[in-house]
Amino acid sequence: MRGFVFRLIITALGLWAAATIVPGVQITGVGNLVVAALLLGIVNAVIRPILLVLTLPLTVVTLGLFIFVVNGVSLALVAWLMPGFTLSGFGAAILGSIVVGLTGWFASMFVGSAGRIERIRRVEVSGRRPE
């Protein structure tokens, strides 16, 4: 449960960063931000894999760049479903999805696969074995 909450917070922070950085992405209110993050998680878990399979030939031809379009479609779908979340166009959706993806990637470096916050351990490199 804690892992789900961490992932939800990470996605909400990504959406907030996208609304702050990308012109054309607007989210009104913290409640709408959390609901949009929840919807984006559902869309990424259910609809995005179907889109990735259907667009696989196009993704291969474009050497993976079409995934940006699929991510933009996912974000645009969430904006279409949410009344308090608006996008000015498809370019804003693609740029917003890049920002959400980058913040999620960066934050997931600190959250393990079980959803726990992990500490980075410093390993001393020397010729001696640890005692």
When pLDDT is cut at 50, 70 and 90, the band that residue 111 belongs to is: confident
Per-domain residue ranges of the chain: 2-53+63-108
Residue 126 reports pLDDT greater than 90: no
Strands (E), 1-131: 25-27, 85-87
- pTM flag (> 0.85): no
Task: Let me know: does 52 contact 59? Beta carbons within 8 Å.
Answer: yes
Mean pLDDT of 10-23: 94
- pLDDT for res 38: 95
Phi, psi dihedral angles at 89 (to 5 degrees): 180, 180
Residues 73, 47: Cα–Cα separation, whole Å: 10
> Any idea which residue has 């667009």 for tokens?
55
- pLDDT for res 109: 79
